[in-house]
Structure 1
Amino acid sequence: MREIVKVTTLMTLAVATGAIASATKVQAADATAFSITIRNVSGAITLALPDGKATSAPIAPGLYAVVRGDAKLFTPNEAAGHSLESLAEDGDAAALLAAIKYIDGVVTADVFAPGLPLTVKAQPGDRFVFASMFVQSNDKFVATDSNGIDLFEGQDSIAGDLTSKVVLWDAGTEKGEAPGAGPNQAPRQAGPNTGPDERGVVRAADDGFTYPAISDVIQLTVLPRGVKSKSGS
């Protein structure tokens, strides 16, 4: 547990100090502002371990973007690439953030820390995407589907808990071990990029191991500015 906290704390400090640069493009004056929060909701016994014990299943600070057109963070059934590999294996969003700056259709992109609200501006047709390492794994990450979440239905902005649209993905870059127990997973490995290569493709996680339900790990809420959630936040 101490090692997990150390990993996630260092990443959060990098976000807070601006060690990872953001990529932002000009927004239209009439765009709608959204408040989006990606929370880690796992508890001390969320993830069952092979020895019968249990532990937490945190997510790492990750990357988000507003995109339009054909822009994506990744494509299922294709190789992940080094930048997504770094995020999925080590929780490092810097390379992916640098890479998407050059993708046509990326409106804005930046890093996020779980639990801290972020604000984006979007127009009808824009979509929200994000990706964050599932820390207790070799190369799993939580993200929207590859197309992202439409922020509008027609001309109307969406609002609410959209956790059901989050997926646990396998980057296909490192051979999997039992979640929360593998020696080549970030909380226990000797250093970044440790573990046998898989040379697979990005796909929904289905490697024979048992993972918690997404709703036990993460909560995604999207609210247009001025709209209150049921909890009043």
Structure 2
Amino acid sequence: MKATFLKSFTVLSALASFASCSKDNNNAPTPTSNTITIENVLQSQPLVESGTFQNAGASPLIMPGESVSFQFSAAKGEAVSFATMYGASNDLFFAPANPGIQVYDANGNPIEGDVSSQIKLWDNGTRVNQKLSEVTHPGTAETTPQNIMEIKGSDAAGNTYLPASSLMKVSLKYNGNSMFTLTIENNSKGTANETPFSPGVWSISYIVGGNLLNANPLYTEGKPSVNGLTNIAEAGDNTALYSYIKGITGIFTPLSPVLVVVYNGIENPIYTVGQNDAGHGLKDIAQKGDATALSDYLKTVQGVKNVYVLPAANSNVLLPVIDGAEGSSVSQQLAVVKGDKIAIATMYGFSNDWFFATTGDIDATQKGDISSQVGLFDDGTAVNQYPGAGVTQFNLAGTPLAESQPIAAVPNPNAFTTLPAINNIIKVTLQ
């Protein structure tokens, strides 16, 4: 009897246990499939900075004995170019040889002082050159426009010219934190080539992978004048050329391999605005685009369910739209349940320590575009410089300068430039 009771009890217990398990499983949330896609949708531009210069006095002309200055930022390998008319000519202009004046030496040290030897005098090839004492404007148009050519002592008409460096003195001063002042002085007074200089334009090209995106921003030797340069060379009018270069000046940045985190029951585990970087690896993302350390740490955090690092195919980093070619994108399929949240982080590649990250708690099971919930943040661990033109930016061959500030949203406009709207740089969708 006792044995029969024990046997019956065992069977009933087993059935109860099975029923309990079945009930728990029936109540467990059913995982659903969701795919996150991150795209670099930035319509990138090749020039990081550009501008105009002219005399600040009653006349915009830079007369003999006068000077003009402008400021700019640059990274190692980037160069500054400019163009201004040799006023007492039919169509001559001053400009550095392409790609422009290098502002750092091979060791990354800023170059200061006289750089006039890099300035050349050019014939625009659109007007017949007259004797220097008989120049009239606009002069006679060339029957067949000629290519831009350097004047080396004399032009095709036999008119003679001193070297450009004898008429124009150009000097650089380093202001610190990747910022320079370039000064153009008119030293032609009393020479056989005394001339005013016209208002001009200047530009800085991005450098990507050791190559300038636009090594001939204002002119190309041996080719026809384009984009409004003729207006400067013939009439000293910088309006058209500046309109052109302003249109190709803007933002260029890759995004680093993207960190994606699925979590539940905790706050966003990547960062907290108003607090200093916690030292778990976010600094490596923000400064170098390396998510390894933070990924490894997050895998140990209770409440974190899955961690992914998504590099782009071929390039590893997510490149922007370049000359109409689509930007890079990455995707990851996720198994998520009700209550799961999702967060991402990726470096603004051409910065000192800026990173994009999702804000607030984002439902990982939702569908659609969540780009409006992405912000741009300053990690506060490196001194900021002009994005894409900082000599200590890691992705521009620099070493970040340390600082210690709380994580904060990057203002827009900021101290350096005005950025496009965030959703015009990075697009994040769940589907």
| TM-score (norm: length of structure 1) | 0.74
Query: Which one of the candidate residues 280, 285, 288 is aligned to 1:90?
Result: 288
Query: Which one of the candidate residues 107, 123, 148 is aligned to 2:305?
Result: 107
TM-aligned CA distance change 1:128 to 1:43, over 3 Å: same
Query: Which one of the candidate residues 192, 197, 221 is aligned to 2:429?
Result: 221
For structure 2, the 5+ residue unaligned runs are: 1-27, 50-71, 73-202, 204-245, 312-317, 319-328
Question: In the aligned structure 2, how far is the partner of 1:109 from the partner of 1:182?
Answer: 32
Q: Which amino acid aligns with 2:393?
A: Q
Q: Does 1:149 align with 2:346?
A: no
Asked if 2 retains the 8 angstrom alpha-carbon contact of 1:47 and 1:180, the reply is no
Question: In the aligned structure 2, how far is the partner of 1:75 from the partner of 1:29?
Answer: 29
Question: In the aligned structure 2, how far is the partner of 1:104 from the partner of 1:93?
Answer: 19
TM-aligned CA distance change 1:211 to 1:186, over 3 Å: farther
1:73 alignment partner in structure 2: 270
1:208 alignment partner in structure 2: 415
Question: In the aligned structure 2, how far is the partner of 1:100 from the partner of 1:40?
Answer: 25
1:84-115 C-alpha deviation (Å, 9 max, x unpaired) = 10100000000000111111110100101351
Question: In the aligned structure 2, how far is the partner of 1:46 from the partner of 1:189?
Answer: 19
Q: Does 1:56 align with 2:261?
A: no
What is the aligned length?
A: 187
Aligned ranges 1:7-86 → 2 under 5 Å: 30-45=30-45, 48-49=48-49, 51=203, 53-71=249-267, 72-82=269-279, 83-86=281-284
TM-aligned CA distance change 1:47 to 1:203, over 3 Å: farther
Higher-Rg member (1/2): 2
| Matched position secondary structure for 1:54 | coil
Asked if 2 retains the 8 angstrom alpha-carbon contact of 1:46 and 1:212, the reply is no
TM-aligned CA distance change 1:34 to 1:107, over 3 Å: same
Question: In the aligned structure 1, how far is the partner of 2:421 from the partner of 2:36?
Answer: 21
TM-aligned CA distance change 1:129 to 1:143, over 3 Å: same
| Matched position secondary structure for 1:116 | strand
Taking only the aligned residue pairs, the percentage that are identical comes to 32
Question: In the aligned structure 2, how far is the partner of 1:126 from the partner of 1:48?
Answer: 41
Query: Which one of the candidate residues 106, 115, 122 is aligned to 2:336?
Result: 122
Offset, 1:47:
8.1
2:404 alignment partner in structure 1: 199
| Matched position secondary structure for 1:87 | helix
Q: Which amino acid aligns with 1:185?
A: Q
Question: In the aligned structure 1, how far is the partner of 2:301 from the partner of 2:378?
Answer: 22
Question: In the aligned structure 2, how far is the partner of 1:47 from the partner of 1:204?
Answer: 25
Asked if 2 retains the 8 angstrom alpha-carbon contact of 1:47 and 1:211, the reply is no
For structure 1, the 5+ residue unaligned runs are: 1-27, 152-156, 224-233
1:104-156 C-alpha deviation (Å, 9 max, x unpaired) = 110100101351221111111111101000001000000101x44122xxxxx
| TM-score (norm: length of structure 2) | 0.41
Task: Flag the structure with more relative contact order, 1 or 2, with Cα contacts below 8 A and sequence separation at least 6.
Answer: 1
1:143-199 C-alpha deviation (Å, 9 max, x unpaired) = 101x44122xxxxx4211111111001101001001111111133134xxx222120
The CA RMSD over aligned residues, in Å, is 2.0
Asked if 1 retains the 8 angstrom alpha-carbon contact of 2:265 and 2:303, the reply is yes
